[in-house]
Structure 1
């Protein structure tokens, strides 16, 4: 996932846009992990993890984005896809030893607070997201990101977000919904969108497969 939008009122809402290589296999949301009973998310079939996990019983969600920094050693590297699952299931922050993970941003959200954990390969930092609407991208909570500058005002001003994900995919990597063909012919694109709403009365989610009507 390359973009996460979070709104804290009137209900806690998260929308994750996942950007990935189009040929990387995945499947839509479900309870795919017996070791995390009750946790729902789309599953990456290559590494087995997820990019956005929801725990309805706990009124909690966690989202993972790739970060920037020093990568882990290849021979000992662990997939980051398990981090969102564990956070949604336990409500706990990432473990103390993260040296086997590549850089990441992890958002852990419930009705009491929304926290952002950022690991750059050397140091873990944490902060609370402010009230209102925020966007997290691969550079973190970055107000100077071109994507944030372009789209955050639109998300702040929109009562509903459904229309904002219906724009045509753009080859511009700063676009919210993007589709870029690399020199080797592979496609890197926005593959799906998941919107989660957490309220005292329950949790709902809506999943959009952006590849359903596309070739390649």
Structure 2
């Protein structure tokens, strides 16, 4: 996440979706008739999304919401609701206070507007939600929360080490590359995102590198965890640009990028 209030495009968001291999999904589109203007990828298992965009109108402006799974106390099995409904709820103006949060497993919900971004965090049943406004500059939001400092964090040293390596490598890389100015009318993702695009698509790291942004991990019990898609959003006053790619077969490639029509 890059926030520069004085820039022509104040807010830039990179979202990498990591999920178990084999979980079926569909690329971004208008998948929800009851919320026809919202756009996002569709989780074909639970029907929700990991990232939703509402282009808005002249009065409201664009808004996006990105979901990350968190750590903490899970919801009761019989009462659990899918977290995939939360980005859609957020972009239509919903507030967490209107939800029975005890019915959701832990999460972090990043809500983005041209004016900035905030992170809504929930550590699970019996806890209290937390809200943080992200500062100007570069921010990283992990499954352990903003900057990896959520109250509820993973107990796994391995996962914590991988997240820290990923955050440290890519925060440094984005800081050394000129900030792009993605114009809504730019013809290609390469034209829109410039020097950030090779970084976004993996920065040449192997899929199993500890710092890999585009990753693939085998847990030794038949389960494979990895990156399935990458989203790039640029939000400015009255405009939003959304570029999307399924993860390339090899890190470092730019094949498959497409601009999502809003």
Q: Scaled by the length of structure 1, what TM-score is found?
A: 0.89
Q: 2:198 aligns with which of 163, 188, 198?
A: 163
Q: Tell me which protein shows more strand as a share of its residues.
A: 1
Q: What is the CA distance between 1:18 and its match in structure 2?
A: 0.5
In 2, distance between residues paired with 1:66 and 1:111? 24
Q: Tell me which protein shows more helix as a share of its residues.
A: 2
Q: 1:187 aligns with which of 224, 241, 245?
A: 224
Distance 1:148 1:212, change over 3 A: closer
Pairing 1:28-177 to 2, within 5 Å after superposition: 28-57=27-56, 58-90=61-93, 92-93=95-96, 95-121=98-124, 122-142=127-147, 145-158=164-177, 159=179, 160-164=195-199, 165-166=201-202, 167-172=204-209, 174-177=211-214
In 1, distance between residues paired with 2:47 and 2:22? 15
Q: What is the CA distance between 1:97 and its match in structure 2?
A: 2.2
In 2, distance between residues paired with 1:169 and 1:152? 18
Comparing 180-189 with 73-82, which one deviates more in the overlay?
A: 180-189
- Number of residues paired by the alignment? 209
Q: Scaled by the length of structure 2, what TM-score is found?
A: 0.74
Segments of 5+ residues of structure 2 without an aligned counterpart are 150-163, 180-194, 252-262
Distance 1:181 1:211, change over 3 A: farther
In 1, distance between residues paired with 2:27 and 2:99? 31
CA RMSD of aligned residues (A): 2.0
Which residue of structure 2 aligns with residue 3 of structure 1? none
Larger Rg over CA atoms: 2
Write out the 4+ residue segments of structure 1 that deviate beyond 6 Å after TM superposition: none
Asked if the contact 1:169/1:179 (under 8 Å) is kept, the reply is: no
